[in-house]
Chains A and B, each alone.
Chain A
Amino acid sequence: MILHTLNRSPLESTVYRQALRALAEDDKLLLIEDGVLGALPAQQALWSSLPGRLLALAEDLEARGLSEHCATGIEVIDVDGFVRLTEEADKVVSWY
């Protein structure tokens, strides 16, 4: 499994499309920084190919006042969980 991180909002950057193209079947995508804007319910159609493999960073949701606005089906993890994911993954690819 490769862990991918995305730190740009899908509303401001199309780099998420490159990330989606690069994601293999068992890879996971973690939304961080402005990427957590992609966790809003209005953006969920973008991630239809990633059931159960989309995560968002709790601290960055909290910093933007979005903790209560995260779509269902997205796993919210804190930075400790982020590190744990990097342990499980073979490598980490960052999209920015």
Chain B
Amino acid sequence: MRYAILLLGAPYSHQAAHSALRFARAVIARGHHLEAVFFYRDGVHNAARLASPPQDEPHLVDGWTTLNQEHGVRLEVCIAAALRRGIVDADEAARHGKQGHSVQAPFELTGLGQLVDLGLECDRLVTFGA
């Protein structure tokens, strides 16, 4: 089956991000295709490339990145939710006259229409809310 995950929770504020990552791994382990994880609302903080948790704690940003590298899972970040929270890639930083950027590949800033497409195209869309 084709799966997609919608994640609404910021890391460390709620368990949602950990739950979503655990579920993502289990979906893949059962032989399904995980098309994408869509990060929306406070969930966009999962894409913060500068996140540096203590070394003895799970590293969520690395966890998502590994899913992309090993299984081709797209990491789609709602651009409207991201920009207002200071989650910007290099292009958007330049456009808004900001120095530095907080998002890099494989995370991609994208529109809410992508979430609608995931809901239409995938067999299952599972939300982890906060």
B-binding residues in A (CB < 8 A): 7, 32-34, 59-60, 79-80, 82-84, 86-87, 91-92, 94-96
Contact = CB atoms under 8 A, between A and B. Distances in A.
Interface residues of B, number: 21
22 contacts: A7-B15, A7-B19, A7-B129, A33-B14, A33-B15, A33-B16, A33-B19, A34-B15, A79-B22, A80-B29, A80-B30, A82-B23, A83-B30, A83-B32, A87-B1, A91-B124, A91-B125, A92-B124, A94-B128, A94-B129, A96-B16, A96-B127
A86 B126 contact: yes
Contacts of B32: 83
Interface in B1-36: 1, 3, 8, 14-16, 19, 22-23, 26-27, 29-30, 32
Nearest to A57: B19
A82 B3 CA distance: 13
Chain B interface SS verdict (over half) = mixed
Given A60-B15, A80-B26, 13 more contacts: A33-B14, A33-B16, A33-B19, A83-B23, A83-B26, A83-B27, A83-B30, A83-B32, A87-B1, A87-B124, A92-B126, A94-B127, A96-B127
A38 to B, nearest CB: 15
A92 B23 CA distance: 13
